[in-house]
Amino acid sequence: MRGAAAQQVAEEPVFYLKDEHAHAEGGSTSLGFWIYLMSDCLIFAMLFAAYGVLGRNYAAGPSPQDLFDLPLVAVNTSMLLISSLTNGFAMLAMEKGQVKLTQIWLAITILFGIAFVSIELYEFSHMIAEGATPQRSAFLSSFFTLVGTHGLHVTFGMIWMATLIAQIARHGLIVANRRRMMCLSMFWHFLDIIWIGVFTFVYLMGMLR
């Protein structure tokens, strides 16, 4: 009897619980990054709104026509647009598995980013030398806050790129580094879009007022 019972137990099918909520590798990272980008959109939306309200309050101080050097800003804009292109070349090299070329294009992107930030700092220093400080008027306060916040994001992006170059040199184009490259590319193009808004809303419309 015992043998028959043991045989019956052994022949009974065994059912295993199946995970019906399996997630793709890195899915939580991508979701978290999208949430971060949405929060960044809200930050810049508030800064744009603040500039829209305060941008004409000059307090008898300098106006955009007195301060903005549109050709210089156009050159600065081209630096960021070209950096977005070189970042795209880095992504293409990554898709082809070309480690060295990916690092080279990322390094070139950093150089264009440095040029962008350098021109922006030159513009700020020139304004401050003329007495157009953030404390001078509501217009200047909102201008320095909006443009400066974008510049800080670009600086953070360059630090991220430099770190990623080192990670690729050490570990190659592993899945984790590819995922980081995708997030970095989205972040960099996002900054490009924000700057187009700054160039149009702050500089071009400011010169037309």
Taking the domains of the chain in order of start, what are their residue ranges? Answer: 62-208
Q: How confident is the model at residue 208 (pLDDT cuts 50, 70, 90)?
A: confident
Q: Is the pLDDT of residue 11 over 70?
A: no
Per-residue pLDDT, 30: 79
Q: How far are the Cα atoms of 57, 93, 149, 184 from residue 141, in angstroms, in the given order? A: 10, 42, 12, 30
Q: Architecture of domain 62-208 in CATH?
A: Up-down Bundle (1.20)
* Lowest pLDDT segment from 8-12, 51-55, 163-167: 8-12
Per-residue pLDDT, 209: 72
Per-residue pLDDT, 22: 45
pLDDT digits (tens, 9 = 90+) for 108-145: 999 999 999 999 999 999 999 999 999 999 999 999 99
State the average pLDDT over residues 97-116: 97
State the average pLDDT over residues 159-187: 96
CA–CA dist 98, 95 (Å, integer): 8
CA–CA dist 146, 50 (Å, integer): 9
Per-residue pLDDT, 69: 94
With tokens 């090299």, the residue in question is 93
State the average pLDDT over residues 9-27: 47
Per-residue pLDDT, 23: 47
Per-residue pLDDT, 126: 95
CA–CA dist 92, 88 (Å, integer): 6
Q: How confident is the model at residue 31 (pLDDT cuts 50, 70, 90)?
A: confident
Q: Is the pLDDT of residue 70 over 60?
A: yes
CA–CA dist 37, 86 (Å, integer): 21
